[in-house]
Structure 1
């Protein structure tokens, strides 16, 4: 049933009583609106500015701008859907969520969504255009009606709701298929439900979306601003049959809510497309065969596969016959199959876009060291590949309108080099910049240095953090010392290691100890003598003596920051790609006592490695394992390789698949060996982060075997991952899922124990330990990782007590 505007707004206001006024707004840093209708106030805080917006009497306040430096507050009659948006440093834009919703109330006079096609699927004409139809309603005549672009609007308060002029010369205008904003009841599957129900169908109270107690989850309101995840209200952000919530009961993670269906009929379904556009959620063609050739099962049938994607549960998704559809926001249309061994598969739908997809990038097994990039002048001519901001945020692709809509496209700026998500300066700002992938931060300057006159950086590279900068000192007992001291503590000159005069020796030679650095006559410690480096002397009366080499100060380093820029391999490259050498300097190779790689791991401290407990099933003896650090090639022939014995091993006491290894002596921290950062205790990832895994595991015949490989893919919320179509409830709360649902890239045998890291600001943080999966890179079978943040207290306790 319908609801009056007054009642709707009253419910909305009441729903916000529990939280801050700012809960009603979506926040975006670095944004400024050009809005002719505004009021300017002084305000001490953004909360005070929000109160000005709530009480504005000059016009309906849809948004406000706040600058803390000037303590200036601007209340606005428009938002980003109706007004031009600009970049401006130190400004924060707050938009009322109610005006961002893609649904209408009543006749939809206030609808400001982005639907731009009619109920018959015909594209709308721009309101400012005069072809093919000369309009009566234009932005100039009706400046308050929101007639921007070609979006559906209702400037004349038509009883049938929003409409538009069409691009069909034979049809002047038609109505649009805009769903009702659902407050008391739901249409379809409740995707547009924005009511205040907060209990489940069994009577359990809902957990707040911004809370991680009692259930940790990835549905963070700041990462899903368009889903209206407010307070603890029932919502449907992920394509379920109806609204749901996480519960406050520790024994029940989530449950559906009992939201009544509206008695009024849902809006008539649009005719949809006969080809694939975007994710194909509006595909209404008749293809009924999967990519592999399996025939689709009827949606109304429960044989051979039982499921919940039925016409009754998804009444607005046209689940007719056995046609391929996308009722729940998958990557593309799909169906259950009639093959008992294949539960569901994607369908091969012809694209509406005639352009061919890009060829996959060519993967080169060995990459040169990545040189530091810089820009000249104000960077207008910069054409490098930097794609991160000063604060470490990943750049949004210039061709994308998500999460930020903009006009800085290659079409509008053809000479600006706006390719992929590379940092650029299309508008002649002071330096290169980009829009960010953080929904709350619109843009930032990029992490680039300015060149000097020769195209070189004016700022030197950061100092190296090891004996590479000061080789004339030793760490621990000096096994890794590679300096040039060639006299003993008593002043005797050292004998060359390859020489047998004046002292004959067969054991400590460059041939017998090729990794010990026995070059010329430099002091070394090939036998791990606890007293430090030594040498044979040239005095016939003294066979050997210790050398007097000072101890190095403790190494200074920043965790999670590589000295070599990582490639950040694109997801579309099948099976990942070969990493830039040493760009993941925390990756270790766990080996048998005779040097055979079998698992990965991560350096989290100079003397501690994190790995999977199942990697230690072969033996409980530390002597059975060795740790190799600083390598890119699995054969470990690089001079940067460090080898350590394992002194102690610790498996998590409650049998989680996570373990700690204490090295026999600390690793030498240098450009090739740097610990990763650990997450905060019990921190969780949202559902949209791109993370990266690395390893020397099985490549299944793809290129790059023998080199460290990487791949990037998103974290998948456990609720999604535990659906029957994916891992069917196997993923526990202390684990997390990551991978491409459609397969193609994944961790595999030999990668176990290795890291899943995510970029946080400008550092990589380890959120997962590679644990298990069903097959390798199989569709619908993402990898499973132990959630590191759950075990921070245990990790700290073991390290501090040992």
Structure 2
């Protein structure tokens, strides 16, 4: 027992405060065997690894049969085969497990219990061959932990000897376990940071699968998730700039050679997503703009088919549907798990809140809903559609605001979107991806909540670790010591009603309000902004050469009636959308502005009347701009904040 104790575990005394991280520790729930005030015990990786590295001299697995199925002889036994090996505390010759004490080229072996066969290889697979890779190995989850040159890999959760951005908690979908080779950045093959201070990273030697897996999820007219499987023929950016061919290196040099990324569909100059970006994209054909997302490509509908219909707003719906629009089962109304209910049979006895059937006890204008059995989603609307088309009423009430929408107008800079003018927008939020890059805008409507657009995110269930909101700066990439900057992690995403294109993003902790950070007011429900009202759009997006994209750009626009807007768009603008005029050669929102605010002034306060969404062209001369009309969804916005 004493012998096995020191073979199988690493014993760490703690006379000092220093910690020791071991790259060869098993990354599994039972890896840490014992912890107390004096010592920590960790199970060594070689004792749980089911494959070998090199010749397998350090293999400590528990295979005890040879490649032909013969049972191994005990190492301490001299029968039926006499030998000179003696088990010790260091050579791992335990019981009758396969080992390679002499570094034999055949790998781990053993003496057999067959008198006619002295010894035989156990045929333990090489780690590099145990799990093969397809394409460029982004989904590789094997256990190779050395580079092609034999260097040991650095653990992903450590920043020594090499600092890096790929922390496991930021990339939970990349399986950055232990120190295994992975491919979190869409490189040609899996790789790792090394434990050699002089060599930052190297590729790993992992076998390619002989049979190529066929993908059945390719789409051509829309894209799912991040669009890695999009194979359509859109070949220009949202602003109409032709894409650069993937096999060309001019005007932009890049590493995405079609012959290296052969499974990524890098044909012609079509929009693709070879690196796991937020959506399909391309290198552009103009030197001034390296890349652009192709957000004019629609997202494929992810709602399940409606199972029933409801009249008016569905308050009297008494059907038996018990599933959300995303297919999630509803929580029972009379239980408080996984969510504590604020609406239940006791609070609303007249609403027929039986079992877990979809109902509309609060008269939600977007239809029947339920609490869900998904711990991450308090409530959602159900797989039920309206039986017919209901009249859509918009109002023009008199409204007063007091605690929101205030700003200090003397904070100004030379700022532009596309043909914009100077301004300041303290409620405009810069949404940051896991690498810290700005990718979309948002609006702060509460100290804990930001509103943006669904087009900025791959799904309603995207993993948010590593994503954050940056507030309090005019600059896209502010200095680290800028005192007003607040960077707050995002913890939750809530998708709006199906037709809304809105998302709400919860902040990990409240934003601190000051002259650079304040919340914008929400409009009254179903309020319609009078035509010709002057409003502002703001963001850090593309300016098409008309301004500085490194600072917050603001432009003034005037509201256009929906009837006037529909003359241009041939009736395609809905009442849940609103428009502004385009003038001065095409004032409009472009890439990376999406999700940002259309703010309109009401007395002395600014009100979030619209949310910027992608259009077929951005900043196109003479083309009106279309926004989501926020007033149609104010009841949903308030409901999300109340239930959180």
Fold shared, TM-score > 0.5 on shorter chain: no
The normalised TM-score by structure 2 is: 0.36
TM-score of the aligned structures, taking structure 1 as reference length: 0.29
Q: Which has the higher contact order (CA 8 A, sep 6+)?
A: 2
